[in-house]
Amino acid sequence: MKALVCYGDGKMEFEDIPKPQVIPGHALIKVKATGICGTDRSIFAGEGPPWTKYPIVPGHEVSGTIEMISSDDRYFNIGDNVAVDNYLRCGLCWYCKNGHYFLCDHHAEVGMTINGGFAEYCLVPCTNLVPVPENVSVFDAVLTEPVANALRACRAARISFDSTVVVLGCGPLAVLVALVAKLMGAKVIIVGRGNRLKRIRNMDLDVIIDSSKQDWITEIHKATNQQKVDVVFDITGSSKLVCSAIGLLRKKGRVILMGVSKNNAEIPMMDIVLKEIELLGKVSGMGYFEEAINLMTTRRIDPSLVITHTYPLDNFFDALKAEQERFEGAIKISIVQD
């Protein structure tokens, strides 16, 4: 089968590799769609998460159709459309047994530890399959993992109908966090730059600030009538932005950190302690995949707002260039296969 193989030194190429054979407890997925994620870029460069094993077929945002399945599975059938919960787990450690399976002591992941979705097929444990209802396109279901990620973060932020929320960043995850926060009743302010903002202005968000043209702190003060905000989500990984944003928070406010950075921040300890600010790191959608599918089933999250461009697998490198250059304000780019 055709697969994109990544060697961890910036080298990636299409290769003809063996089609996976079904083993007990697993299903062979005919891949229909795979999203390009910021994490993929780090994997391509050889800087992926510590559980990444090279060479690897990347792609962890995956949806497709079951082509073959282990005879011991009782829940799925050949031909079912599924999304993939990409977080593999042992089920035995303390974290797994307490529902924190992304933090499994033996964490592994589709597209990082085992071959993922930038291929014609991938082999996935049946425990990691999420059913896709008939009224959701299997191509739209590729958004399940990032929607779950956004939903879990918003739940952790304890957003309510009187919350004011600031989202720093305008990439796919930032947009989904903003849309979910809006669904939960918040007033949502998103801060970003570039052509993506043109698309975001067509979404039902309250305030959109272009930080390349406006002083974003000043604009937030105007938008809130000088009132403090309840929650700040940082998707950028910029310690400078996070430290500035902490000053926007009310007492008992919350910062949700979702952007990954190797740089450490000198945080304003006085504000955090005296105002009892909460800082939470959130990095996965574990436990929220089914609910994420439901948001798309009911169209409360419209995938067409986020999946702005699709490319066939053969044109992967064109898609990657478009993603890197934010071609036409691209938000989420998906690799699709018939």
Q: Clarify whether residues 129 and 156 are in a common domain.
A: no
| Number of domains observed in the structure of the chain | 2
Label residue 291 left, alpha or beta by phi (over 0 means left) and psi (-120 to 50 means alpha). Answer: alpha
Question: Has residue 262 got a pLDDT over 80?
Answer: no
Distance, in Å, from the CA atom of 316 to the CA atom of 314, rounded to the nearest integer, reads 6
Share of the chain above pLDDT 70, in %: 100
| pLDDT 10s digits, 39-79 | 999 999 999 899 999 999 999 999 999 999 998 888 999 99
Last residue of a domain, one of 236, 251, 281: 281
**267 and 295 fall within a common domain:** no
Residues written for the chain? 338
Query: Which residue segment(s) compose the domain that 263 sits in?
Result: 152-281
Are 119 and 187 members of one domain?
Answer: no
Is 329 found in the same domain as 312? yes
The reply to whether 81 and 186 lie within a common domain is no
Which of these three, 257, 281, 305, is where a domain ends? 281
- Are residues 247 and 327 located together in one domain of the fold? no
State which amino acid sits at residue 242: V
Could you report the per-residue pLDDT of 153-206, keeping only the tens digit for each? 999 999 999 999 999 999 999 999 999 999 999 999 999 999 999 999 999 999
Distance CA 228, CA 162 (A): 12
Alpha carbons within 13 A on the beta-carbon side of 336: 16
At 219 the pLDDT is: 96
Is the per-residue pLDDT at 108 higher than 90? yes
- The CATH number of the domain holding residue 24 is 3.90.180.10
Which residue bears the tokens 């961890």? 8
pLDDT in tens, 307-336: 999 999 999 999 999 999 999 999 999 999
**The pTM is what?**
0.96
Alpha carbon of 48 to those of 38, 56, 236: distances in Å?
10, 11, 17
Is residue 217 over pLDDT 80?
Answer: yes
* Alpha-carbon separation of residue 157 from 60, 148, 236, 289 (angstroms): 25, 14, 17, 18
Residue 252 to residue 274: CA distance in whole angstroms: 9
Task: Give how far the C-alpha of residue 159 lies from the chain's centroid of Cα atoms, to the nearest Å.
Answer: 19
Residues 202 and 216 in one domain: yes
Same domain, residue pair 120 and 27: yes
Average pLDDT, stretch 142-153?
A: 98
Same-domain pairing of 143 and 9: yes
Cα gap 117→94, rounded to integer Å = 29
Between CA 136 and CA 133 the distance in angstroms is 6
